[in-house]
Amino acid sequence: MADVHDLLDRVVGEVDAVFLFSPSTAFHERFADLDDIEVVVVAPENGIGADRFVELPLEFEDVVDRIRFGLEGAIDRDLVAEGDEVACATRIFDEGIDSITRVRVNSFTRSGIYSLFAESRADPAVVKDVLELAIELGKKGQKGQPVGALFVVGDAGKVMNKSRPLSYNPFEKSHVHVGDAIVNVMIKEFTRLDGAFVISDSGKIVSAYRYLEPAAEGVDIPKGLGARHMAGGAITRDTNAITIVLSESDGMVRAFKAGEIVLEVDPEEY
């Protein structure tokens, strides 16, 4: 009969790498000298001086997102390879590491979440706030009806120069930020009208109702996506902004960076 040791061996036995998510120094030292196994630290800062490190810009509360981010970062840094088996040690219930998950790298579908957060000009927490706002809108809509929305995040000065107003700007003299709960209620109301929201690197809402005017030549978006996605993709090619687009037609949330889709999320599965 299998015992707990058999079970643990199935999870951590014969892995190629161990990922430690925000470990203490003492915890890391216990694993740093493992033979034939790469040890990768995924944390906000490399305070323990790990040789193999992936910066975690924020502590994702969803463990799947946390592990996905760490794996994508490690893939981009060539710290793991296709076919590798990885044991991920992370936190679920306590302040310290308390759980282990085994993942095969070649069965891991890259989502673009690492590029979106770690390689964007805007503050990662701002990107997270806008993404979660778009997802919430995708789930609930506006008064029960599906809505579309376009959020341009970062490099706000250049974005404003490549756009024009469609109506008055309700945020012109304000100093509100996208993470504020009351402001998010306002944004949901403003989605009823056309135009993009422009948000600064630090999360300040610069404008609503902006008509984006970037050159669209050379922007490749999937068939079936319309002008909102074309404009969202094009503005990220002409500026250092990213865009997060909620599609009114299919309800999907897509993020663009450097003219390409880097993340696609179904709000109902998030």
CATH of the domain at 79: 3.40.1380.20
Whether residue 226 sits in one domain with residue 202: yes
Q: In what order do the strands lie in the sheet with 17-21?
A: 53-55, 38-43, 17-21, 85-90, 99-104
One domain, residues 162 and 261 = yes
Among residues 51, 43, 37, 52, which one has the least CA distance to residue 24? 43
- Tell me, yes or no, whether 203 and 79 share the same domain: no
Identify the domain boundary among 94, 110, 126.
110
Domain boundary among 52, 78, 110: 110
Assess whether 153 and 265 both reside in one domain. Answer: yes
> What's the confidence (pLDDT) of residue 1?
45
Are 95 and 141 part of one and the same domain?
A: no
Q: What is the DSSP secondary-structure string of 119-175?
A: TSSS-HHHHHHHHHHHHHHHHHTBTTB---EEEEES-HHHHHHTEEESS--TTTT--
Environment class of 4 (CB within 10 Å of its CB; exposed 0-12, middle 13-18, buried 19+): exposed
Q: pTM of the entire structure?
A: 0.79
Within this chain, do residues 157 and 260 fall inside the same structural domain, yes or no? yes
| Total number of domains constituting the chain | 2
227-255 pLDDT, tens per residue? 889 999 999 999 999 999 999 888 899 99
Contact 80, 105 (CB under 8 A): yes
Residues 121 and 94 in one domain: no
* Shared-domain flag, residues 60 and 83: yes
At 56 the three-state DSSP class reads coil
The secondary structure of residue 204, as a DSSP letter, is B
Query: 186 and 67 share a domain?
Result: no
Phi, psi angle pair for 244, to nearest 5°: -120, 120
Looking at 65, 81, 110, the residue that finishes a domain is 110
- pLDDT tens across the length of the chain (270 residues): 456 656 566 656 678 899 999 998 988 988 877 777 889 999 989 999 999 999 988 778 788 888 988 999 999 889 998 889 999 999 888 778 888 888 888 766 677 788 888 889 999 999 989 998 898 888 876 566 778 899 999 999 999 999 999 988 888 888 889 988 787 778 877 877 788 999 999 999 999 999 998 876 667 777 778 888 999 999 999 999 999 999 988 889 999 998 888 888 888 876
How far apart CA 198 and CA 159 sit, in angstroms, is 8
Same domain, 224 and 99: no
Structural domain that includes position 252:
115-269
CATH number of the domain that residue 145 is part of:
3.40.1700.10
